[in-house]
């Protein structure tokens, strides 16, 4: 079986991981299902292999059940099984499409469309988002709870579920909480539902976390985006700052492609921020042999440590960080940490001295100006010099550790 799958061009290891029972079946049984798919829906070998990768579970059953599922989908969509559009729907369908019997599949999608949705596109969306996974009584309970929690009338419920059927696959309390929290961040109700329709996973993620706050501040304060800008591009909220958004913006800034992080929108390069790593590398990278250097910068390694340092060690609020954006671009080992340490020592010796009043100096003053402003005392100057050496040494050790981990 394993050899036959490889011969067909299928990633047998992937099938073994997703549906191990396929490899325990008789070879002829799997071959007959493979052939039935091709005969019923005119799948090419390549398309059948793609289907086998995503819907491995289909090959755990006989050809009758698999063809029955295709017939049920064809009937509900009004599409001939041999059409290109039909094959596109099957390949794009939720990966649990074949996990239910054709009868159950037909009943659940029909129930959903009749009770909670309007529009000819709904059945197709239901297959893509997997509404058929949820039994009918559970759908009814969740729909009623959503209306109670969010104050929807029947027409509003239909509008929301027609746009995003996946809502009924989530717990109502999760949906309601996230909808309220995102709206509480400043987005209008209309914007919230438009965003969640484009990026349904926003409804399933917990919004009230430091990570989400950091992300929103990064987009608004550092990049200069408005909430309307973000609402029009909800995909921005799906990516991390430290591992995705930050390194790309920093690279454009470091290479001079943009004058400052908050000019990225007007630069014409904003679209590349959300592109794949391959597309970004092709557009901006050094020679292909060094393509990984696109993402090599202190910003990548230190962004998360810098945010953590500001929030936990310096105990700055999000609002304070937003008012001192230069802190987010200040090297942690070279400037931020040793300067903060030194000013903290000054504050201990001088009761009237408040470190928080000098946040701008931490980020913007040159070493010479900083020394003149705060280190007239020779002993203090020597302490600052030693502190910088210490943090630099720690930084080198951390980088060596990162390098060794990668190797």
Residue-level pLDDT at 22: 83
Contacts of 100-104 with CB under 8 Å at 24 or more apart are 100/132, 100/133, 101/65, 101/68, 102/65, 102/68, 102/69, 102/71, 102/72, 103/72, 104/132
Mean pLDDT of the chain: 79
Q: Are 191 and 227 in contact (CB under 8 A)?
A: yes
Degrees (nearest 5) of the Cα angle 18, 72, 41? 70
The overall pTM is greater than 0.85: no
pLDDT digits (tens, 9 = 90+) for 218-267: 888 778 889 999 999 998 888 877 778 877 787 777 777 888 778 888 88
Q: Are 78 and 48 in contact (CB under 8 A)?
A: no
Six token digits for residue 114: 């009749």
Q: Which is more confident, 323 or 82?
A: 82
Q: Are 387 and 342 in contact (CB under 8 A)?
A: yes
Q: Which is more confident, 60 or 383?
A: 60
Q: Are 167 and 146 in contact (CB under 8 A)?
A: yes
Domain residue ranges in the chain: 1-99, 123-205, 209-295, 330-406
Statement: residue 119 has pLDDT above 80: no
Residue-level pLDDT at 385: 53
The burial of 245, by beta-carbon neighbours within 10 Å (0-12 exposed, 13-18 middle, 19 or more buried), is given as buried
3-state DSSP percent of the chain in helix, strand and coil, to 5:
75, 0, 25
């Amino acid at each position: 079986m394993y050899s036959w799958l490889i011969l067909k061009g299928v990633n047998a290891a992937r099938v073994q991981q997703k549906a191990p029972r396929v490899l325990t079946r008789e070879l002829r049984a799997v071959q007959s299902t493979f052939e039935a798919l091709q005969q019923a829906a005119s799948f090419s070998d390549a398309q059948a292999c793609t289907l086998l990768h995503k819907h491995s579970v289909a090959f755990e059953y006989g050809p009758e059940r698999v063809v029955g599922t295709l017939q049920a989908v064809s009937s509900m969509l009004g599409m001939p099984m041999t059409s290109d559009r039909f094959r596109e729907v099957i390949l794009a369908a939720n990966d649990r499409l074949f996990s239910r019997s054709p009868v159950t599949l037909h009943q659940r999608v029909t129930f959903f469309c009749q009770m909670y949705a309007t529009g000819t596109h709904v059945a197709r969306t239901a297959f893509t988002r997997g509404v058929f996974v949820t039994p009918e009584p559970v759908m009814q309970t969740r729909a009623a709870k959503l209306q109670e929690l969010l104050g929807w009338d029947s027409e509003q419920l239909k509008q929301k579920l027609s746009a995003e059927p996946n809502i009924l696959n989530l717990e109502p309390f999760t949906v309601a909480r996230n909808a309220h929290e995102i709206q509480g961040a400043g987005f209008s109700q209309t914007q919230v539902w438009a965003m969640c329709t484009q990026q349904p996973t926003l409804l399933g993620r917990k919004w009230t976390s430091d990570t989400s706050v950091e992300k929103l501040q990064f987009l608004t304060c550092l990049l200069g985006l408005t909430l309307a800008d973000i609402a029009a591009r909800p995909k921005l909220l799906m990516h991390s700052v430290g591992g995705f958004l930050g390194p790309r913006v920093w690279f454009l800034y470091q290479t001079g492609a943009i004058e400052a992080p908050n000019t990225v929108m007007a630069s014409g390069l904003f679209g590349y921020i959300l592109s794949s790593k391959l597309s970004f590398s092709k557009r901006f990278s050094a020679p292909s042999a060094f393509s990984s250097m696109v993402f090599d910068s202190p910003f990548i390694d230190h962004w998360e440590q810098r945010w953590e340092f500001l929030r936990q060690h310096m105990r700055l609020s999000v609002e304070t960080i937003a008012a001192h954006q230069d802190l987010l671009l200040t090297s942690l080992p070279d400037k931020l940490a040793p300067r903060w340490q030194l000013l903290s020592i000054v504050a201990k010796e001088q009761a009237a001295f408040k470190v928080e009043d000098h946040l701008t100096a931490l980020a913007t003053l040159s070493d010479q100006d900083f020394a003149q402003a705060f280190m007239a005392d020779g002993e203090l100057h020597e302490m600052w010099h030693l502190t910088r050496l210490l943090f630099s040494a720690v930084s080198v050790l951390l980088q060596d550790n990162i390098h060794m981990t990668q190797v």
